[in-house]
Structures are given as structure tokens and as C-alpha cells.
Amino acid sequence: MTWLTRDWQRPVPTPRLLRNDLVLGVVLALLSVLSLVVFRSAGGVAEPEHGNESYLWFVAAGGLLGLRRRFPLAVLLLESVIFVVIGERFADLALVFTIQMVLFTALYAAWAWSRTARALYATTLVVLVGMFGWLFWSFTQPGMLPGEGDGGLLLPRDTAVIIYSVAINVVYFFGAIAWGQAAWMSARRRALLEAQFERERGHQVAERRQAVQAERVRIARDLHDVVAHHVSSIGIQATGARRILGRDPDRAAGALATIEASSRQAVAQMHQLVGLLREGDEDSTREPQPGLCDVLTLADPHGVPRVEVEVVGQRTDVDGSVSLNLFRIAQEAVTNARRHAQAKRVLVTLRYLDDTVEVEVVDDGHGTRDDGPAPADEGGFGLAGIRERVAMLGAHHEIGNRPHGGFRVRVRAPRQTR
């Protein structure tokens, strides 16, 4: 029966619950004695039969319930024994409401708190067999049944009494079992929900960590692209300015102006990236992230190498993430050509196609050597960063040597991310 399935072990009660139970046990012991006093007074009994022994049994019955959650099966067995002793030694006292509820509560607690299914089933079977056996045995004792005779209706009096007593006890015992099992199943559902909540919270924590790590990688990649692009440009322009400073001051001044502009752009973009790391920074004056519109800023017709930019097709809307990453790819490819390829000319082409957008950077430098790693990968993260962006966009790409010399980086990505 699935209703009786106990495939979960209930945790032991907390120390706080156990302390509360001990206090409750003392209270129930006092209430049990009080109920016995009231019952005897209502029956007009001045002196208790067998002295004060009955009070001791009632105190024990009430007090044991303070241990019902810590030792549920032991308490059930002891309460059953006490109930039988009271019924045998004091006859009418087994009808006292408190002793009836004590046994009911003990059986309920056993099914609500037992942590071992087999022991629970065995203990319950012993109690039920013992209690119903004692009930039927009591019917055989003189004076327990009213005697043969017509009860006035359909059944003889003895038969009616037996049926009534058995029915009451079936409802009593199996009602306690059903209530205890329902409490156990409710606790199980709560535990499963809490475990599921903890798993989901763990997944959320892991996802947040992954998102933070991905953002750190993205910012590191952007920082690398910004610094590498502008610093390489500054280095080349500074070298040229130093060489021609004496013989051509005007050209040297132009190179210094380019250095000034590049340094300002680098500082501005670095401030922007650092601003993304400032927790709680809501500065609305922060400049927007660069995109495909900024590809034109890569042009450097007077630099070495000479960088030219072409735009093919009619400009269309491109997702912000796609626009930023394609710009960074073009920027990094230009930086690689400037730093490593010893090229004289670099051509950046931006193509707006039907559902895609493409950037292509080609140079006339020496490319890779002996099919080894691209020069941009020697000691840096240039092409690795480009490939990471390509993978993130799910884009088509071509990175490698050109058939007639030079190097090509071409990336085509959908205009809108999915």
C-alpha cells in the first residue's frame, strides 16, 4: 500500500522540541492526576482503591508522553502496558478520558515520529494484537457482558455490546495510526520541498558565480582589447615621432597629436570598463559601449601600417552584444596586425548582409610561420579572445594566412542574438 510507504527517515527532534516535550510531560502528569481526582469525585468515591497506586500509574502515563518524540516506540509499548494494568487493577479507571487520550497520543506519535519502518510495523502489530486480544479476553470474564437476552432490536444484547466495543476500538486505534501517518507524510513533503528549495538555491548560487566569472572574463577581454589597441598605436606613433623629430617637426607633432588622442580614448574606455566593476554605481553620465558605428574610428591613413575602413551595404539594426563583440574583434585584429605582422596596409571591411553582419580584417604582413601559432598569440591573448567572442556569438569565422601572403580575420554573425 503506497499510503503506508515509509521511504523517508524523519530527522530526530531538535533539542528545543525535546525540552518543550519534557515540560509538557510534567504538565500532562499533573493533568492526569487532576482528571483522576475529578473522576473519583464525580463517582462519589472518597478513598481510592488500592491506596495511592492508581495516582502513580496516571502520573507515569502522563509523564511518559514527554518522551514520545525521542523514543516513540518504547513510549507506545509502555503506555499500552500501563493502560492494561490500570484496566485490570482498577477496572472503571480505564474509562477515564485522559488515560484514553494518552494511549491514542502514544500511538499517533509512534506513527508520526518513528524512524524505522520495520520496528514500527512490528510494535504496532504487538500493540494491536495485545489490545484486541485483551478486549476479547475481557468479554469472557464474568460480569463483563449484560447476559443473554433480546436487546429490543435486531441483535442480542451480548452481540450488540461486542460489536459496539470492537467498532469503537477499531476507530480509536486505526484513527490514531491514520492521523500519525498523515503527520509523517506532511513532514516528508515539507522536507522534500525544503531539499528542493536548497537545490534550487544552490543552482542559483552556481549560476550567479558562473555569470560573475563570465562577466570577469568579458571585462578582462575588453580591457585587453582596449589597452592593446591604444598602447600599440601609441608605441608605434612614439617610435615614428622620435625618428623624425629632428628633421620633420611637423610630422612629429602630428604623431604626438595622435598619441594624445589615443591615450585619451584609452583612459576614457578604461574608466568605462572600471565603472562596470563599481558595485552600486548608477552614474548616468557613463558613455555607451562601443559598437559597429565605431569601426570607422579604427581608420589611421597616416599611421604605420596604414589602416583603411570600408563599409559595404546599408546599415541595419544590430543587437548590442553582437555590435560590441564585432567591434572588439575588428579592434583586436587591427592591433595584432600593427604589433606583430609588420604589415604596411590593413583593410577593415564592415559588411551589412541580409540577416547577418560581417567584419573582415586583412593585412599584407608575414602572417604565421610554418603553420605555427599566429604571432598575435605569442605571449598574448589576442586571437584567443577573438575565438572566445566568436564562440559566444555562435558566428562563422575564418582566421589564418591568406593564399598570397598576409593574414585574415573574418567573422560573420547573425544581426540578432537568439
Which tens digit of pLDDT belongs to each residue from 121-146? 999 999 999 999 998 988 887 766 66
Q: What is the pLDDT of residues 404-417, one digit of tens each?
A: 889 999 999 998 86
Question: What gap in Å lies between CA 193 and CA 207, rounded to an integer?
Answer: 21
User: What local confidence, expressed as pLDDT, does residue 324 receive?
Assistant: 87
356 residue type, one letter: T
Distance CA 381, CA 369 (A): 18
Q: Could you tell me if 262 and 233 are in contact, meaning their C-beta atoms sit under 8 angstroms apart? A: yes
Span 72-96, average pLDDT: 90
* Consecutive H or E run containing 322: helix 320-340
- Backbone φ and ψ of 360, nearest 5°: -135, 130
At 397 the pLDDT is: 92
Closest of 259, 271, 269 to residue 233, by C-alpha: 259
278 or 6: which leads in pLDDT: 6
User: Please, where are the H alpha helices in 358-398?
Assistant: 382-393
Q: Which three-class secondary structure state does DSSP give residue 408?
A: strand
* pLDDT tops 60 at residue 41: yes
pTM: 0.54
Q: Flag whether pLDDT at 31 surpasses 90.
A: yes
pLDDT over threshold 60, residue 329: yes
Q: For residue 231, is pLDDT > 80?
A: no
Domain ranges of the chain: 2-142+151-202, 291-418
Is 124 in contact with 176 (CB distance < 8 Å)? no
Task: Find the helix or strand (DSSP H, E) in which 397 lies.
Answer: strand 396-401
pLDDT at 339 over 70: yes
More confident residue, 122 or 388: 122
Neighbour-count burial of 256, counting CB atoms closer than 10 A to its CB (0-12 exposed, 13-18 middle, 19+ buried): middle
* Domain 291-418 of CATH type 3.40.190.10: no
Q: What is the mean pLDDT of residues 134-159?
A: 72
Among residues 409, 235, 234, the alpha carbon closest in space to that of 328 is found at: 409
The mean pLDDT of 67-88, rounded to a whole number, is 93
Decide: residue 198, CB within 10 A, 0-12 exposed, 13-18 middle, 19+ buried.
Answer: exposed
4 pLDDT tier (thresholds 50, 70, 90): low
Q: Which pLDDT band, with edges at 50, 70 and 90, does 44 fall under? A: low
